[in-house]
Chain A
Amino acid sequence: MRNTGRFLCLISFLLASVTLASGAGAASFDISRYNGPKMKDLYYVIIRDMDAQLLAMSSGRLDVLSDIYRPADVERLSKSGVADLSLAATFHGMFITFNTRKFPWDQTILRQAASQAAERRRWTRDLFSGYCEPMSSFLPIISPFYESGVTHFPPGVEAARRRLADAGWTWNSAGWLVAPDGRELPATKILCPPSSIAATTTEIATLMAEALVSIGIPAQAEPIDFQTMLARVDVRDFDACTNAWLMSRDPDVLYSFYHSSMDVEGGYNMSGIADPELDRVLHQLRYAPDEAAAREYSSRAQKMLAELMPVIPIYSRYSISAMKKGWDGVFLTDRSTADNLLTLISMTPAEGGERPIYWNIPEEIRTLNPLVSSIAYDWTVLGTIYDTLISVDPYTFEDMPWLAESWSITTGESGSVLTFTLREGLKWQDGYPLTVEDIAYSIQFIKDNNVPRFYDSVKDVASIETDLKNRTLRIEMANTSYWHLHNIGGGVLPLPKHILENVKDWRAWQPTNTPHKALDGTTLTELIGTGPFTFRESRTGEYVHMTRNEHYMLRNKGARSE
């Protein structure tokens, strides 16, 4: 109770202490009201050690610090008074996965009872001082496709035991469960990373094991080397294990996790759930022709999963970030912390004038080749260089115009037909005009070269037509799926044709080390996008220097960010 109170106070404090951006609280978002970026220089500063990051933030040498996850650090920073903290729910989810291929976890009722016994609320309060949200759904609560009307079994050990007893399960003299057919339960080992790697995950596995024991299932946590754990899960050599994922706003990820076709070695259906009806719904979800159908199948899939319970959702992490005081124009919503692109575009010093932005990155940048990079921190940088055709409304997480001012998705003869109309007057960072030809070339390049990172987004592209005059791009897909809109519109990066056509080996392409060939006397490299900041220099392990993109679509519009 004391912790809950403290948590609620702290959350209120955090939300109250952040600098609210103008317009926050609006029902939907209007990008045309923004004008930026306002600051000329942006430095992504690489500081790896968490304590060193906090020292740098507390001493005012950093402007933005993301991903603060230790409760003590949050309190330390909030007390220091140098920064405003913001907190938001995320797409993160932590689950206990059961191997449903073998007894006893092939028994649905046992998984349901285990879910009832999991005291998520108490665990998250005790372990994270409240900086996490207990989770009982298969999609994050902030997903626009989250279904709240799923079955929730009454929580608690007693309720779980009653449920099992009603279904004919009994307990032997030692207190262990016995199945209705007389089979005794083998011991369940919950694989988890060691506490030196992920202390709270190990603790959750231990608590889950205790919860299972409390309803009569012999269980214990088994901390093992993380890579060994992944290898064992890949070959399905486990009873139960811990898993954590950063999901996306689309429910299509449910197909990867729970469709039986994904239960292959190394596949993401780790629980091995194979339910023909669920498969059918997930297939319909993947190939839903429009948004209404996608919503319907997503809802049905979540309801079925809540009954089948192949995994037990435990908690979702909050994102907490710190922003140095003294900046105006900070943008945040109840779904987004202050460390976002819109803040980057609109932030200005409260005292006026010009000064560089120092933004922390906690890991070295591995590569800034957009075709191969798969690391989140690389994409923090790449995300300020490249734009997508459509973006995500920061208030609702619905689609929002970005490079494309409008779009449509219809069903043609062979499959979905996507039509995008670009904004007028778009330019690359090197001043070249951005046309639909660039986008068509990017998609074709990725498809022809089977670029793995974007392979799933473009593999079903059947044909592309462009209309330069009307700035229209028409893409015909080989099958019907509403997700093609997000895969192409939000998943594929438009890359400049005049640069991409000179790339000989895309896999070894180092755009940051290759000077821009087409412009004389420029300091630009081949890392050219349309985003708000242009790449200038990267010192491995030290920093990445970016400067304002004077050709940015929101720059020099004559409007203020109010």
Chain B
Amino acid sequence: MTAALKRLGGSLIVLAVVLALNFFLFRVMPGDPLTSIVDPRFSPEAKAQLASQWGLDKPLSEQFVVYIREMLSFRFGLSMMTGAPVWDELKKRVPNTVALLLPALVLSASLGLWLGVKAALNRGSAIERVVLLTGAVSFSFPSFFVQILLLMCFAYFWRLFPLSGTTSIPPPSGGMAVLDYIWHLALPLCSLVIMGFGGFALYIRNMMVKALGEDYVLMARARGLPFRRVVWNHAFRSILPPVLTILLLSLPGVVSGAVVTETVFSMNGVGRFLLEATNSHDYPAAGAAFFSLALLTVGCNLLADAVYILVDPRVRREGSRE
């Protein structure tokens, strides 16, 4: 219990630091949010009006108080790019990001896991060589290249999938809208799975090879336990905690890295919003996006800890001894 509270306290401190850094880093970064709004026809007086309307003429301490209030209340203020509440902007984008990234992560992890275990169990065989090769290729290809290639083949030449967006124009109604949405997500999802499974497959194969050579696995086999049980209950279970940790901790990176996918497939998601907010120095939007990412990272971290306790009895026992 004490350990859990300590972890929670630590996470809150991390969040507080991120919150403060978010404010100050954006303001000391070179550039000016007004640069993307004004053009040479704006006089210095008009520029001053603009600064005043966004509260940029106020002392930094006053701006900081407003910022903290907006962040902690999850209102996040108005986006300087769109003039709309940042919370509304995020709400419009999160469903697309979740609908794309969650299945992509689950599918690529499952495929990577299956292939990684298969390769480890068939060392030196053609299966292992194929897994190592495809894993390395999948892991090393630049995402935009794979995605443009998929678009060329399956949306341009064979016209099986749409070229862009998440809906047909004009959009269908009723149940067809759901099918239409899935149809639009299919190609970006495939591209993410193609690019994502390789890393998992290589990582799991290496871990499994090591685990399968451990004494307790040999002992289990010597005891005459069924092979499947030895593989999944003994070897795989021992690598499960680090695999789950990697999986959970990769989530924030996947969200922020979704920008390429969202650009190539013209999808409306959080990754692109984050990039545009940062590039335009949209303080409220960038602050909110980074704060949300920090929350996601800290949340995933805590979840990884909890899962670790759940799947590793040694950690559970150490926790109860404390």
Seen from chain A, the residues whose Cβ lies within 8 Å of a Cβ on chain B are 41, 43, 45-49, 51-52, 55-56, 58-59, 61, 225, 227-228, 230-232, 234, 245-248, 253, 256-257, 262, 264, 266-268, 356, 358, 364, 366-367, 369, 372-375, 450, 452-453, 455-456, 459, 507-510, 539-543, 545
The 26 sampled A-B contact pairs (Cβ below 8 Å) are A43-B169, A46-B165, A47-B266, A49-B264, A49-B265, A49-B266, A52-B164, A58-B156, A225-B30, A227-B29, A228-B30, A228-B31, A230-B30, A230-B32, A231-B30, A234-B32, A266-B47, A358-B169, A367-B84, A372-B83, A374-B36, A452-B46, A452-B47, A456-B46, A539-B268, A541-B272
Please determine whether B45 and A459 come into contact, CB atoms closer than 8 angstroms.
Answer: yes
Name which of B99-107, B147-155, B248-256, B292-300 contacts chain A: B147-155
- Complex CA gap A232/B31 in Å reads 9
Q: With CB as the reference atom, state the residue of chain A lying closest to B267.
A: A541
Would A452 and B83 be within 8 Å (CB), given that A59-B159, A256-B41, A507-B78 are in contact? no
Would A264 and B83 be within 8 Å (CB), given that A52-B151, A52-B264, A542-B169 are in contact? no
Q: A43-B170, A232-B30, A510-B84 are in contact. List 4 more A-B contacts (CB 8 A).
A: A45-B169, A228-B30, A452-B37, A452-B49
Please determine whether A230 and B78 come into contact, CB atoms closer than 8 angstroms.
Answer: no
Say if the beta carbon of B227 comes within 8 Å of chain A: no
- Complex CA gap A231/B151 in Å reads 39
Q: With CB as the reference atom, state the residue of chain B lying closest to A451.
A: B49
Say if the beta carbon of B129 comes within 8 Å of chain A: no
Interface residues of B in 79-97 (CB under 8 A from A): 81-85, 92-93, 96
Q: With CB as the reference atom, state the residue of chain B lying closest to A56.
A: B163
Residue from A48, A268, A367 within 8 A of B263 (CB atoms): A48
- Complex CA gap A501/B35 in Å reads 31
Please determine whether A253 and B84 come into contact, CB atoms closer than 8 angstroms.
Answer: no
For residue B302, which residues in chain A have a CB less than 8 angstroms away from its CB?
none
Please determine whether A374 and B32 come into contact, CB atoms closer than 8 angstroms.
Answer: no
For residue A456, which residues in chain B have a CB less than 8 angstroms away from its CB?
41-43, 45-46
Q: With CB as the reference atom, state the residue of chain B lying closest to A256.
A: B40
**A-contact bits for B208-238, CB 8 A (1 contact / 0 none):** 0000000000000000000000000000000
Closest chain-B Cβ to A166's Cβ sits at a distance in Å of 36
Residue from A55, A356, A539, A542 within 8 A of B163 (CB atoms): A55
Seen from chain B, the residues whose Cβ lies within 8 Å of a Cβ on chain A are 29-32, 34-47, 49-50, 53, 78, 81-85, 92-93, 96, 148, 151-152, 155-156, 159, 163-167, 169-171, 263-269, 272, 276, 279, 281
Please determine whether A541 and B151 come into contact, CB atoms closer than 8 angstroms.
Answer: no
- Complex CA gap A59/B163 in Å reads 10
Residue from A232, A247, A542 within 8 A of B165 (CB atoms): A542
- Complex CA gap A542/B180 in Å reads 14
Q: With CB as the reference atom, state the residue of chain B lying closest to A262.
A: B44
- Complex CA gap A51/B156 in Å reads 11
For residue A264, which residues in chain B have a CB less than 8 angstroms away from its CB?
44
Closest chain-A Cβ to B190's Cβ sits at a distance in Å of 16
Please determine whether B151 and A55 come into contact, CB atoms closer than 8 angstroms.
Answer: yes
Closest chain-A Cβ to B155's Cβ sits at a distance in Å of 7
For residue A542, which residues in chain B have a CB less than 8 angstroms away from its CB?
165-167, 169, 266, 268
Closest chain-B Cβ to A227's Cβ sits at a distance in Å of 3
Please determine whether A253 and B43 come into contact, CB atoms closer than 8 angstroms.
Answer: no
For residue B169, which residues in chain A have a CB less than 8 angstroms away from its CB?
43, 45, 358, 542-543, 545
Please determine whether A452 and B41 come into contact, CB atoms closer than 8 angstroms.
Answer: no
Please determine whether B148 and A51 come into contact, CB atoms closer than 8 angstroms.
Answer: yes
For residue A507, which residues in chain B have a CB less than 8 angstroms away from its CB?
53, 78, 83
- Complex CA gap A65/B279 in Å reads 25
For residue B96, which residues in chain A have a CB less than 8 angstroms away from its CB?
541
Residue from B38, B39, B82, B93 within 8 A of A367 (CB atoms): B82
Please determine whether A52 and B81 come into contact, CB atoms closer than 8 angstroms.
Answer: no
For residue A453, which residues in chain B have a CB less than 8 angstroms away from its CB?
46
For residue A452, which residues in chain B have a CB less than 8 angstroms away from its CB?
37-38, 42, 46-47, 49-50, 53
- Complex CA gap A411/B152 in Å reads 62
Q: With CB as the reference atom, state the residue of chain B lying closest to A373.
A: B83
- Complex CA gap A366/B268 in Å reads 12
For residue B151, which residues in chain A have a CB less than 8 angstroms away from its CB?
51-52, 55
Please determine whether B84 and A245 come into contact, CB atoms closer than 8 angstroms.
Answer: no
Closest chain-B Cβ to A360's Cβ sits at a distance in Å of 10
Please determine whether A268 and B152 come into contact, CB atoms closer than 8 angstroms.
Answer: no
Please determine whether B156 and A59 come into contact, CB atoms closer than 8 angstroms.
Answer: yes
Residue from B31, B34, B264 within 8 A of A231 (CB atoms): B31
- Complex CA gap A364/B277 in Å reads 12
- Complex CA gap A248/B42 in Å reads 13
- Complex CA gap A47/B167 in Å reads 12
Would A227 and B165 be within 8 Å (CB), given that A367-B84, A374-B37, A507-B83 are in contact? no
- Complex CA gap A56/B159 in Å reads 11
- Complex CA gap A372/B279 in Å reads 19
Please determine whether A540 and B31 come into contact, CB atoms closer than 8 angstroms.
Answer: no
Closest chain-A Cβ to B158's Cβ sits at a distance in Å of 11
Residue from A55, A358, A373, A541 within 8 A of B268 (CB atoms): A541
Would A509 and B83 be within 8 Å (CB), given that A59-B156, A456-B41, A539-B167 are in contact? yes
Residue from A47, A55, A541 within 8 A of B152 (CB atoms): A55
Closest chain-B Cβ to A510's Cβ sits at a distance in Å of 6
For residue A48, which residues in chain B have a CB less than 8 angstroms away from its CB?
263, 266, 272
Please give me the 8 A-B residue pairs with the lowest Cβ-Cβ distance, nearest first.
A541-B268, A227-B31, A231-B30, A228-B30, A452-B50, A455-B46, A256-B40, A452-B49
Please determine whether B83 and A510 come into contact, CB atoms closer than 8 angstroms.
Answer: yes
Give the one of B43, B151, B276 with max A CB within 10 A.
B43
Closest chain-A Cβ to B77's Cβ sits at a distance in Å of 10
Please determine whether B83 and A369 come into contact, CB atoms closer than 8 angstroms.
Answer: yes
Q: With CB as the reference atom, state the residue of chain B lying closest to A49.
A: B264
- Complex CA gap A47/B151 in Å reads 13
Please determine whether B30 and A227 come into contact, CB atoms closer than 8 angstroms.
Answer: yes
Q: With CB as the reference atom, state the residue of chain B lying closest to A542.
A: B165
For residue B32, which residues in chain A have a CB less than 8 angstroms away from its CB?
230-231, 234, 266
For residue B78, which residues in chain A have a CB less than 8 angstroms away from its CB?
507-508
- Complex CA gap A246/B82 in Å reads 22
Please determine whether B156 and A46 come into contact, CB atoms closer than 8 angstroms.
Answer: no
For residue A247, which residues in chain B have a CB less than 8 angstroms away from its CB?
40
Please determine whether A47 and B30 come into contact, CB atoms closer than 8 angstroms.
Answer: no
Residue from B49, B266, B279 within 8 A of A541 (CB atoms): B266
Please determine whether B83 and A253 come into contact, CB atoms closer than 8 angstroms.
Answer: no
For residue A246, which residues in chain B have a CB less than 8 angstroms away from its CB?
39
Closest chain-A Cβ to B257's Cβ sits at a distance in Å of 16
For residue B53, which residues in chain A have a CB less than 8 angstroms away from its CB?
452, 507
For residue B44, which residues in chain A have a CB less than 8 angstroms away from its CB?
262, 264, 266-267
- Complex CA gap A456/B39 in Å reads 12
For residue B43, which residues in chain A have a CB less than 8 angstroms away from its CB?
256, 455-456
- Complex CA gap A49/B143 in Å reads 13
- Complex CA gap A542/B262 in Å reads 11
Would A374 and B152 be within 8 Å (CB), given that A227-B31, A455-B46 are in contact? no
Closest chain-B Cβ to A454's Cβ sits at a distance in Å of 9
Q: With CB as the reference atom, state the residue of chain A lying closest to B31.
A: A227
Q: With CB as the reference atom, state the residue of chain B lying closest to A59.
A: B156
- Complex CA gap A45/B264 in Å reads 14
Closest chain-A Cβ to B50's Cβ sits at a distance in Å of 4
Q: With CB as the reference atom, state the residue of chain A lying closest to B29.
A: A227
Closest chain-B Cβ to A46's Cβ sits at a distance in Å of 6
For residue B279, which residues in chain A have a CB less than 8 angstroms away from its CB?
227
